[in-house]
Amino acid sequence: MTSQVRRALRGIAYGTSVAAVTVAALVTLPEVGPLIGFSAVVAVAAALLPTLWLADRIRLVPPASLVACGVSLAVTFLYPGPAVNATANWWLLETVALLVLIVPAVRRPSPRTSLTLGTPLIITVTLLPLRLILRVDPHATFGQASRLCLAWALLSAASVGGGCYLRSLDSRSRAAVVAERRTQRVDLARDLHDFAAHDVTGVVVLAQAAQVLAREDPRRAIELLPRIEAAGAQALAAMDRTVQVFAETARVERGEVVGQPGGAEVTPRLPRDLGELPSLVSRFTRTGSIEASLDLASGALEELPNHVSSLGYRVVVEALTNVRRHAAGATKVRIAVFRAPHDVVAEALHVLVTDDGRQCQSPPDLADPDRQGGGFGLTSLTERVEAQSGTLAAGPRMQGWQVSAVLPITASPRARHQMADVDGPAEVRSPPATSQIR
């Protein structure tokens, strides 16, 4: 059901309700007079306008509230009487309508407007009993009038409290939406860095190599130009995909339908997971001077949870980017992915990225986690892995550097109370069967 249809149905219900109250007022007109029925009809119409029909039209709440207050106060002091049973019935209906009107008047407008509207509404409801007690025979005493007005004041205060409570819920909801949008934007910005920067790094490395070769062998430098072009095109494609997701997210925030025929809303996301490893490895080798190989164990990616696959892919991308930036003299890098037990974890995904470059004292991201332009980095990536009860380690080997990540998939029964105490990577076992891509 579209929003236009829902609004039309609410409008029909609103019109029917107001018309029914108007007809009832006309029927009792000879008994109670025109003022009592007119005041009740105005109060009901004002109360149902923001609650039943035009709930999204906040600007209609102030005029509706002020009109209802003005009419009710005028009738309270101008009604000549006499107060009969039918008068009391309309009086109760008007009281309920004004109490209902207080809730949207306090809940929706700005704080200053809510205070401006709430004050006359409370006064109107508090004085409403005077319409009866001043016209009954015999007249009520001052104490009786005071007690009745106090009771109506407490009812109006309860309505104000209900409106304030709903206002606080709305504020929390808006704050949660803002926080969620901020998180989405941060994630998309990290995607732009982590994935596009990987390909941009390849462009930089090839351009640096071309500068060196241009002085020694211009012919070989020219041969690098197609590879630089391919790496640049890949980086532009990664940025285009991320920017497109930014645009789709903005459309979702504006309430526009995104995605598929039939109006089904989809959540925009980048398909970045371990299923893209073969193309990532091929692209890394094609757009750089380092040969990459992939050892993917048989069944390693079967029924793999999305969050594990996505995080494993990020680990590989960050490790390959660091190889290009910091592994001086590296000629080969090997990515191994397989499943094996790990400590108290019954089944975990193991991701290893090993290169043969010159050893470093410490990984650059761990040594300088706040480096300018950093995205995830190994430090932030370690926090993300540990948040999923996994481990990530980076360090030198006999020749080169290795990044190893262990991402739990399923845990053994005793792991439920021990998972928080898992520290350090377990000894890595070689996968029993692998498919190799070069």
pLDDT tens, N- to C-terminus, the chain (438 residues): 677 888 888 889 999 999 999 999 999 988 888 999 999 999 999 999 988 888 778 888 999 999 999 999 999 988 887 778 888 899 999 999 999 999 999 998 999 999 999 999 999 999 999 888 877 777 778 888 899 999 999 999 999 999 999 999 999 998 988 888 787 777 767 666 666 666 677 777 778 778 877 887 888 778 778 878 877 887 777 777 767 766 666 666 555 544 444 433 444 445 578 888 898 888 788 766 788 999 999 888 888 888 899 889 889 988 888 888 787 678 899 999 999 887 766 788 999 999 987 654 444 443 333 333 444 577 778 888 888 888 999 888 888 889 999 999 875 444 444 444 433 333 343 444 444 443
What is the reported pLDDT for 424?
A: 39
Reduced to 3 states (helix: H, G, I; strand: E, B; else coil), residue 340 is strand
In a domain, 332, yes or no: yes
What is the reported pLDDT for 262?
A: 40
pTM of the model: 0.57
Q: Which two tokens stand for residue 120?
A: 């006359």
**Whose CA is closest to 207, among 187, 183, 224, 189?**
224
How far apart CA 298 and CA 316 sit, in angstroms, is 18
Across 263-293, b (16+ Cβ under 10 Å) vs e yields eeeeebebebbbeebeebbebbbebbebebe
**Whose CA is closest to 257, among 246, 268, 271?**
268
Domain end (from 124, 140, 156): 140
CA angle 300, 305, 309 (to 5 degrees): 65
CA angle 227, 233, 239 (to 5 degrees): 140
How far apart CA 378 and CA 309 sit, in angstroms, is 17
For residue 62, cis peptide bond before it (omega within 30 degrees of 0): no
Look at the chain and report how many structural domains it folds into. 2
Rounded to the nearest 10 degrees, how much is the dihedral formed by the CA atoms of 74, 80, 83, 84?
Answer: -110
What is the reported pLDDT for 361?
A: 43
In a domain, 183, yes or no: no
In a domain, 157, yes or no: no
Reduced to 3 states (helix: H, G, I; strand: E, B; else coil), residue 407 is strand
Number of CB atoms found within 10 A of residue 425's CB: 18
Quote the domain boundaries for residue 398.
Answer: 274-438
In a domain, 23, yes or no: yes
Domain end (from 140, 164, 191): 140
Where residue 285 falls (left for φ over 0; alpha for ψ -120 to 50; beta otherwise) is alpha
Instruction: Say if residues 424 and 394 touch (Cβ distance below 8 Å).
Output: no
Helix (H) or strand (E) holding 41: helix 34-48
Q: Which residues contact 96 (CB under 8 A, 6 or more apart)?
A: none
Alpha helices in 254-305 (DSSP H): 277-286
Number of CB atoms found within 10 A of residue 7's CB: 14
What is the reported pLDDT for 114?
A: 93
Domain end (from 140, 174, 198): 140
Residues shown for the chain: 438
Q: Which two tokens stand for residue 395?
A: 């360090």
How far apart CA 334 and CA 387 sit, in angstroms, is 26
Sheet holding 391-396, edge to edge: 391-396, 401-410, 345-355, 332-342, 291-297, 434-437
In a domain, 281, yes or no: yes
In a domain, 211, yes or no: no
In a domain, 181, yes or no: no
In a domain, 359, yes or no: yes
DSSP single-letter state for residue 259 = B
